[in-house]
Chains A and B, each alone.
Chain A
Amino acid sequence: QVQLQEAGPGLVKPSQTLSLTCTVSGGSINSGNYYWSWIRHHPGKGLEWIGYIFYSGSTYCNPSLKSRLTMSIDTSKSQFSLELSSVTAADAAVYYCASASTVSTYFDYWGQGILVTVSS
Chain B
Amino acid sequence: QSALTQPASVSGSPGQSITISCTGSSSDIGTYKYVSWYQQHPGKAPKLIIFDVSDRPSGLSNRFSGSKSGNTASLTISGLQTEDESVYYCSSYTRSSTWVFGGGTKLTVL
List the A side residues contacting B101 at CB < 8 Å.
39, 46-49
From B50, which residue of chain A is reached at the shortest CB distance? A106
Contact B36 A107 (CB under 8 A): yes
List the B side residues contacting A105 at CB < 8 Å.
32, 34, 36, 93, 99
Instruction: Digitize A15-56: 1 where CB-to-B-CB distance is under 8 Å, 0 elsewhere.
Output: 000000000000000000000000100000111110000000
Query: A106-B36, A108-B57 given as contacts; is B45 within 8 A of A49 (CB)?
Result: no
B58 to chain A, nearest CB (A): 11
Q: How far, in whole Å, are A105 and B36 apart by their CA atoms in the complex? A: 8
B102 on interface, CB distance cutoff 8 Å: yes
Q: Which of A39, A64, A106, A113 contacts B51 (CB 8 A)?
A: A106
Q: Which of A62, A63, A106 contacts B91 (CB 8 A)?
A: A106
A80 on interface, CB distance cutoff 8 Å: no
List the B side residues contacting A39 at CB < 8 Å.
101
* Interface-central residue, B3, B38, B96, B101, by most chain A CB under 10 Å: B101
From B32, which residue of chain A is reached at the shortest CB distance? A105
Query: A45-B103, A49-B101 given as contacts; is B96 within 8 A of A107 (CB)?
Result: no
Say which size band chain A's interface belongs to. Answer: 20 to 34
Other A-B pairs, 17, CB within 8 Å; known A46-B101, A112-B44 = A46-B3, A46-B104, A47-B38, A47-B91, A49-B101, A62-B1, A62-B98, A64-B1, A96-B46, A100-B99, A105-B32, A106-B51, A106-B52, A107-B36, A107-B38, A107-B48, A112-B45
Interface residues of B (CB under 8 A from A): 1, 3, 6, 32, 34, 36, 38, 44-48, 51-52, 57, 89, 91, 93, 96-104
Interface residues of A (CB under 8 A from B): 39, 45-49, 60, 62-64, 96, 100, 104-108, 110-113
